[in-house]
Structure 1
Amino acid sequence: MPEPRLLDVVRDRIRIKHYSFRTETSYLGWIKRFIRFHGSRHPREMGGPEVEQFLTYLATDRQVAASTQNQALSAILFLYREALELDLPWLDGMVRAKRPARIPVVLSRDEVRRVLAQLEGTHWLATSLLYGSGLRVSECLRLRVKDVDFDYRQLTVRDGKGAKDRCTMLPDSAVEPLQFQLKRVRSLFEADRAASHPGVALPPALERKYPAAPFEWPWQFVFPARKFCRSPYTARVVRYHLLPDVLQRAVKQAVRAAGITKPASCHTFRHSFATHLLESGYDIRTVQELLGHSDVSTTMIYTHVIQRGGRGVRSPLD
């Protein structure tokens, strides 16, 4: 039996550890770049010096950010420790680039209203949930019908960052638009069933455990894609959710149309959600729970935003 390809081994180890598909794609990409950088030599023939050369190339020639350099290092360490199962002394000595401390971009309440006024339909509703519920863009687009609870006014985030579930608020002002969105999705769902089209995408383990789930209403995405695609795990044709790039482009255009010069993106609405709650006097622990942060120190960054602009100290000019 032929020996499996290196990248197939890496992919299998990533899936055994239940890493996200985005992490899988990123790690495989960095491992390919690392191998090509050294003339397609096998990683077993390389070691610490070769890794240092690659990271130096990224920092000096490519001038990548510290977070990008650290991501490349994480991928290479995964390759040696998990895929090749090599416990080498130099692995523990690899120093990560120091990430600069950045203050998040935050929109004012008026700026949020101006951006939302430039959006409509699905893009408006999804962006409203980013701001009104503090969701990450991937969490918003992965919402399924069963994750929306109108009675308790809450959304359940499944398998969020760090493979954690959590509940967050459903804004009252989003209830009616969300109910209308689900009616549209229901019509699409029924049309798919009538035409015997493929079902919705599910994680492979759930699909094996509940084979009928892809064709059931509760499992449908709140923001489904218009077209079908192939599942990266099973190669089965499925209906996926709206792609993040689609919403990100719409938000970027809306920010420009609103005349806002801040480098705002979809994630900016999550920052604004946290900042505006703290400005309104809500407890930081409550905000931490709504955001899904493991450590309150992560949530503390928003207190620095609140203190900007003379909120904490009066300027001597005044």
Structure 2
Amino acid sequence: MNWKAKLIKRGGESRIAIYFEKNQDWIDRIKELEGSRWSQTLGVWHLPDTLENRMLFRIIETPIKLPSAEGIAHIEKFKCWLLSRRYSDSTIATYSEALRYFLTFYNEKAVAEINNDDVIRYNNEYILNNKLSGSFQNQIVNAIKLFFSTVRDTKIELDKIHRPKREKLLPNVLSKEEVKIILNAHSNLKHKTMLSLIYACGLRRSELLHLKPADIDSKRGVVVIRQGKGKKDRIAPLSDKILVMLRDYYVAHKPTTYLFEGKFNGEPYSEYSLQSVLKQALQKVGITKPVTLHWLRHSFATHLLESGTDLRYIQELLGHNSSKTTEIYTHVSTKSIQQIKSPFDDL
């Protein structure tokens, strides 16, 4: 998809205008970005002029500041290293771009001379001064650590590079009643089946969209999730109820390459269109919570825990590397909490 971005003024405020051919997937994507607006006058979507949005749409201020020739060569080596280790395209783009911004900051210094003090200075003078997010800071840390531990042997002491303190956020969970209402909102069989399968098997959005018809193993009663996050295969159980729904869907739509295909056979359904399917369901049933597709996965795990499923099995079903990741659902499960009697009742 071809697009271009440029700075504009709207109401005295600097904004970033995004120009592209009319495409619903891109419209949905732009809508999800914080502060996005549509200008009827200009016929263009525009976003707040923030450093992160400039990075996202590659708007570079003049005079253009670039890494040194040595830095550019190292970035290319880093890309080749990531590619040879079969990192995903999105990870390669994210890490190489993060490294580019870091080496641009030190474009007058030899890469071999960069040390821990330089990383701290970059954090204070660039990331914090520009009020960039903790997630961006984490990307920088990941890129710097990987680069200096693989491509370049320098004075960096990797263990001393600190990450931002991780926010302790609880996963968002829906009640079983809310899930039922959402899943029954659509009369469209395809839309209903996609949302139902995410909840029924605890799938990530990308995992659902990359499923193929052969991944539904009705004889064994499982769905095979291939190359999920971390490039791991796993299986999830298929309930009789979801299997009936999948069979009806298969008869009606006859998918070829992917289980859920877009407008053209052989192409996967768009992730942004899938998010729109959920938004439409929420609007139909009047739920105003900012529900995302991942809430269905969180709800799947929490409801399993509340029904007595062992945490180790939930970890396997979700594809978590560490049990600590799965343990967070114990903090949102209401099964034990509801049994606690408040002292207020005794007053």
Q: Please give the range of the TM-score, normalised by the shorter of the 2 chains.
A: 0.7 to 0.9
Q: TM-score, normalised by structure 1?
A: 0.75
Contact 1:185 1:224 in 2 (8 A): no
Q: CA deviation at 1:101?
A: 1.4
* Correspondence for 2:210 among 142, 149, 160: 142
Q: Does 1:103 align with 2:103?
A: no
Paired residues, number: 273
Q: Deviations over 1:129-154 (max 9, x none)?
A: 11000111111111122211012221
Contact 2:138 2:163 in 1 (8 A): yes
Q: CA deviation at 1:157?
A: 1.1
Structure 2 counterpart SS, 1:168: strand
CA separation of 1:41 and 1:261: change in aligned 2, threshold 3 A = farther
Q: Does 1:20 align with 2:88?
A: yes
Range moving further from structure 2, 100-109 or 175-184:
175-184
Contact 1:185 1:222 in 2 (8 A): no
Q: Does 1:224 align with 2:251?
A: no
CA separation of 1:185 and 1:72: change in aligned 2, threshold 3 A = farther
Corresponding position of 2:238: 170
CA separation of 1:91 and 1:303: change in aligned 2, threshold 3 A = closer
* Correspondence for 1:58 among 124, 127, 147: 127
Q: Deviations over 1:211-258 (max 9, x none)?
A: xxxxxxxxx221233359xxxxxxxxxx54223222123323433443
Distance 2:210 2:343 in 1: 49
Provide structure 2 residue ranges, at least 5 long, that are not aligned to the other structure.
Answer: 1-69
Distance 1:13 1:173 in 2: 46
CA separation of 1:181 and 1:157: change in aligned 2, threshold 3 A = same
Distance 1:105 1:265 in 2: 9
CA separation of 1:31 and 1:118: change in aligned 2, threshold 3 A = farther
Question: What percentage of aligned pairs have identical amino acids?
Answer: 34
Q: CA deviation at 1:110?
A: 1.1
Q: TM-score, normalised by structure 2?
A: 0.69
Q: Does 1:288 align with 2:315?
A: yes
Higher RCO (CA-CA < 8 Å; seq separation 6+): 1
Output aligned runs, 1:1-318, within 5 Å.
5-38=73-106, 43-44=111-112, 46-56=114-124, 57-65=126-134, 67-82=135-150, 84-119=151-186, 120-183=188-251, 186=254, 189=256, 220-227=257-264, 239-307=266-334, 310-318=337-345
Letter in 1 for 2:141: L
Structure 1 counterpart SS, 2:157: helix
Distance 2:97 2:342 in 1: 49
CA separation of 1:46 and 1:274: change in aligned 2, threshold 3 A = same
- CA RMSD, aligned part only? 2.8
Q: CA deviation at 1:51?
A: 2.7
Structure 1 counterpart SS, 2:153: coil
Contact 1:55 1:73 in 2 (8 A): no
